[in-house]
Amino acid sequence: MDNFDRLAVHTMTTKPWDLPTACAKYAEGGLSGMGVWRQWLEGRSLEESRMLLDDHGITPASLVRGGFFPYATVDEKQTALDDNFKAIDAAAVIGAPQVVLVCGAKPDLSLAESRKHITEGIASCIAHAKSVGVKLAIEPLHPMYADCRSAVNTIGQANDIIDQVGDEWVGIAADVYHIWWDPQLEGEIIRAGSRIIGFHVCDWLTPTNDFLNDRGIMGEGCINIRGIRQLVEATGFQGWIEVEIFSDRYWATDQDKYLTQIKNAYLQHV
């Protein structure tokens, strides 16, 4: 029997669909989970967005995304914190249990400095996250994004940060696209244990033609998704499996057929 109980799809995966359309289509497809990107909340109140989700029986797995902590000026530091507080609040209103953190990096800052800003930034968000009951999920990003998207590039680094800030309100979103290559993956997932609070899937294409928007559907590429899922679930993780695919190629196709492809790939390759 086809079981989609744990399947969540990110709104960014079906980018051409706005929130009302995505809610209707996911529900029609028998799905009950969604990774909600913040842009999809624009144009209506947060309460209305929550109602939309509720009315379709859709549960938000995560709100994407907070982070981007590294700063050049004190103003930038404050702007980043304000934005993260806003994301945390939004997650609370729509009922998302976690905000995914793309931690940030700046090419003009040293990696050491970016990493220090990130750890401090996350620490500064914890009290607020706790106050509204929303967790922060550090998503390590592939090292090819270390210049301007995230200076946190391995599960090991996320573990190091959490060692410093505590793990009551901070966990890890493990996205196979970012971590599949890591020779220390197994050990660091074991070390993370119950810190793993998110699991994102897609695939790595050979060749990959674009740094951002050329991901594959699960099974199209070289990632051992099932193997990584086993590692993650061996920690006790039984949460949502979130499909997060950025793809100019798929965004240009019929999104109904694409959602069917995703469901089939989930059953076959995840």
Tally of CA atoms within 13 A in the half-sphere of 175 that contains its CB: 26
CB atoms within 10 A of CB 187: 14
Residue among 135 and 142 whose Cβ is closer to its own copies: 142
| Pick 30 or 181: Cβ nearer its own copies | 181
Smaller CB separation from its own copies, 4 or 246: 246
Is residue 175 a contact point for its own copies (CB under 8 A)?
A: no
Q: Is 113 in the site for its own copies (CB under 8 A)?
A: no
Q: Select from 39, 13, 31, 20 the least CA-distant residue to 249.
A: 13
Identity of the amino acid at 204: W
Helix axes 185-192, 155-165, angle to 10 degrees: 30
70 lines the binding site for its own copies (CB under 8 A): no
Q: Which of 165, 155, 152 is nearest to 198 (CA)?
A: 155
Which DSSP symbol is given to 33?
A: E
Residues numbered 193 to 232 that lie near its own copies (CB under 8 A) are 204, 206-209, 211, 221-222, 224, 227
Nearer to its own copies, 24 or 111 (CB): 111
Nearest to 97 by CA among 239, 232, 243, 270: 239
DSSP 8-class letter at 150: B
- Mapped onto helix, strand or coil, the DSSP state of residue 241 is strand
104: β partners = 150
Q: What is the largest CA-CA distance in the chain?
A: 55
Cβ closer to its own copies: 167 or 214? 214
Terminal-to-terminal C-alpha distance of the chain: 15
**Beta carbon nearer to its own copies, 17 or 180:** 180
Site for its own copies (CB under 8 A): which residue of 71, 180, 250, 266? 180
Q: Which stretch binds its own copies (CB under 8 A): 20-28, 86-94, 156-164, 187-195?
A: 156-164
Give min distance, CB of 223 to its own copies, in A.
9
Count of residues engaged in binding its own copies, rule: CB under 8 A = 32
Closest contact distance (angstroms) between CB of 175 and its own copies is 14
Tell me how far, at minimum, the Cβ of 214 lies from its own copies, in Å. Answer: 10
> Contact residues for its own copies (CB under 8 A)?
107-108, 110-111, 115, 142-144, 146-148, 151, 153-154, 156-157, 160, 180-184, 204, 206-209, 211, 221-222, 224, 227
